[in-house]
Amino acid sequence: MDFTYLFAHRNWPMSPHLTKKVFSKEEYSKDAEEWEYIEEEVLNHSRSACVCMTCYHFSHICDRHSRTLLTCLTKHCLIPDGKHLNSKCSMWLARL
């Protein structure tokens, strides 16, 4: 099967509209490394796809030691490892 027709009209990965602006590690993560972890009472267990990882406000960054930090951009808090897979808060919003 020839897929060239399907992908011929798309300009990725070279399209500037599909790439994110790159920040230096210091510029992007200097504030987030100092954030506190989110309180356990704020997170509610969820069995659906509505979890932190699928939230519009979810993000992840690397600290200066190249460790991944999971963040909630609305609450300005770090998310404990694993909680982004099975928990959500009251401010969960679907990604657009």
What is the overall mean pLDDT for the chain? 76
Specify whether the CB–CB gap between 71 and 61 falls below 8 A: yes
- Exposed (0-12), middle (13-18) or buried (19+): which is 84, by Cβ within 10 Å? buried
Portion of the chain with pLDDT greater than 90, in percent: 32
Pairing relationship of beta strands 87-88 and 44-45 according to DSSP bridges: antiparallel
Backbone angles phi, psi at 52, to 5 degrees: -50, -40
> What are the residue ranges spanned by the domains of the chain?
23-88
Q: Looking at the predicted structure, is the pLDDT value of residue 9 above 90?
A: no
Share of the chain above pLDDT 70, in %: 69
**In the structure encoding, which two tokens stand for residue 8, read together?**
């011929």
Tens digit of each residue's pLDDT (9 = 90 or more) over 66-75: 889 999 988 8
Measured distance CA(21)–CA(45) in Å, rounded: 33
